[in-house]
Amino acid sequence: MIKLLHRIFPHPHLTILLTLVWMLLANSPSLNSLVFGLLLGIIIPFITQPYWPDRPKLRNWPMVVEYMLVVLWDIVMANITVARIILFKRDADRRPAFVSVPLELRTPEAITVLAGTITMTPGTVSCDLSAQGHNLLVHCLDAPNPEEVRDEIKRRYERRLKEIFE
Amino acid sequence: MEFLFQLLIAFFLIVSGIFGFVGSFGMIKLKDPMSRLHAPTKATTLGVGGVLLASIAHSVLIEGKLSLHELLITLFLFLTAPITALFIAKWHIHRHEKPSDLPDAGEDELWATHAVEQVEDVPDHSAN
């Protein structure tokens, strides 16, 4: 029975998420859009199942909320920092640098979220993974001290993602 | 009261305008391609975020109905912007950076872009 349910709902979270996204797209909370959203939420995970065989487990929901708040706060603060660099710092004083961040995360989903977070927080862009996925290459707009950037990423984001995914 | 609401909405719009401008200005001012890549990722965060907040505030406070469409735009931007940035960055590494220019990749020795070049024997374009 449970196996059958697993076959029909390979990603239960994705089903809920897709339904929610459809409801938001329709922009009016009606039974009509709920039913259609649920339909999409069941069909899409079922069809795409072969391309996403693993089921990532989120272990720590309060940490998910904390992570989102930390990232939002960092985006606002980093925006101001970067705006100051662009407007007031002479180009010659800027120290752009590649930084290599050794990863402790092993789940592909967790690494994806980390790379996306690094790109979305202004001032850093994640550029590449090492051949076996053990290191992340990050480009910094202005990093007089690359070790500091690396430690900050590990402390603020990777530690929390480790608690969420692993 | 309506005046206060309008003030709030105007504030969000101005913030987004400023950051959108700084992002575009950065594209002109910054000289190397990797640094230029930082400008568009910034315009999509606070620049677009401000407009979206203003839009939500307008529909809730002035039109009196809840509209959460805007959250979806944020979600889609957060999903797509890093992918574009990664594509451009990988292109740059592929064409303009040698393995010796980049920091140490640790135990894996090579970054993925260069490792693929070695496996598939892609011709080296970095010389021209």
Question: Which tokens sit at A153?
Answer: 């990423």
A158 HSE (CA, 13 A, CB side) = 18
CB-based contact B45 A122, cutoff 8 Å = yes
pLDDT value of position A30: 83
Instruction: Give the predicted TM-score (pTM) of the model.
Output: 0.82
Pair B106, B79 in one domain: no
Pair B61, B28 in one domain: yes
Residue B125: is its pLDDT beyond 60? no
In DSSP notation, A57-93 reads PP--HHHHHHHHHHHHHHHHHHHHHHHHHHHHS-GGG
Residue B11: is its pLDDT beyond 90? yes
Pair B19, B43 in one domain: yes
Tell me if B97 sits within 8 A of A96, measured CB to CB.
Answer: no
CA-to-CA distance for A41 and A23, rounded, in angstroms? 11
Query: What's the mean pLDDT in B15-22?
Result: 88
Residue A74, φ and ψ in degrees, nearest 5: -65, -35
Pair B103, B90 in one domain: no
Instruction: Tell whether A25 lies on the interface with B, counting CB pairs under 8 A.
Output: yes
Pair B36, B61 in one domain: yes
More confident residue, B40 or A60: A60
Given A126, A135, A139, which is nearest B34 (Cβ)?
A139
Residues paired with residue A99 on neighbouring β-strands, in sequence order: A138
Given B32, B82, B110, which is nearest A131 (Cβ)?
B110
Pair B103, B80 in one domain: no
Instruction: Give contacts of B 89-118 with A, CB under 8 A.
Output: 89-90, 92-93, 102-113, 115
Residue B32: is its pLDDT beyond 90? no
**Closest among A52, A55, A66 to A161, alpha carbons compared:** A66
Tell me if A59 sits within 8 A of A65, measured CB to CB.
Answer: no
**A chain contacts of residue B30, beta-carbon cutoff 8 Å:** 86, 91, 141
Mean pLDDT over the full length of chain B: 81
pLDDT value of position A162: 87
CB-based contact A129 B42, cutoff 8 Å = no
Given B34, B79, B107, which is nearest A96 (Cβ)?
B34
More confident residue, B100 or A34: A34
**Domain count within chain B:** 2
CA-to-CA distance for A135 and B79, rounded, in angstroms? 22
Instruction: Tell whether A127 lies on the interface with B, counting CB pairs under 8 A.
Output: yes
CA-to-CA distance for B124 and B128, rounded, in angstroms? 9
Pair B102, B87 in one domain: no
Nearest CA in chain B to A134: B108
Pair B124, B71 in one domain: no
**Closest among B66, B74, B62, B53 to B11, alpha carbons compared:** B53
pLDDT value of position A27: 76
Query: What's the mean pLDDT in A59-78?
Result: 87
CB-based contact B81 A126, cutoff 8 Å = no
In DSSP notation, chain B reads -HHHHHHHHHHHHHHHHHHHHHHHHHHHH--SHHHHTHHHHHIIIIIHHHHHHHHHHIIIIIS-S---HHHHHHHHHHHHHHHHHHHHHHHHHHHH--GGGSPP-GGG-SBHHHHHHHHHT----TT-
Longest dimension (CA), chain A: 66
Using 50, 70 and 90 to split pLDDT, how confident is the model at A59? confident
Using 50, 70 and 90 to split pLDDT, how confident is the model at B128? very low
Pair B101, B89 in one domain: no
Pair B52, B41 in one domain: yes
**Closest among A146, A115, A130, A98 to B107, alpha carbons compared:** A130
CB-based contact B86 A135, cutoff 8 Å = no
**A chain contacts of residue B45, beta-carbon cutoff 8 Å:** 75, 79, 120-122
Pair B24, B49 in one domain: yes
Residues B65-115: pLDDT tens digits? 888 888 888 888 888 888 888 888 888 888 888 777 777 777 777 788 777
Residue B48: is its pLDDT beyond 50? yes
Given A21, A87, A119, which is nearest B85 (Cβ)?
A119
pLDDT value of position A81: 84
Size of interface A-B (CB pairs under 8 A): 134
- Does CATH place domain A61-165 in 3.30.70? yes
Mean pLDDT over the full length of chain A: 84
Residues A101-152: pLDDT tens digits? 888 888 888 888 899 888 888 788 888 888 888 888 888 888 888 888 888 8
Strands A135-140 and A124-129: antiparallel
Return the domain boundaries, chain A: 2-51, 61-165
| Cβ neighbours of residue A20 closer than 8 Å, sequence gap 6 or more | A37
Pair B62, B78 in one domain: yes
Residue A44: is its pLDDT beyond 50? yes
Give the domain range for residue B106.
97-128
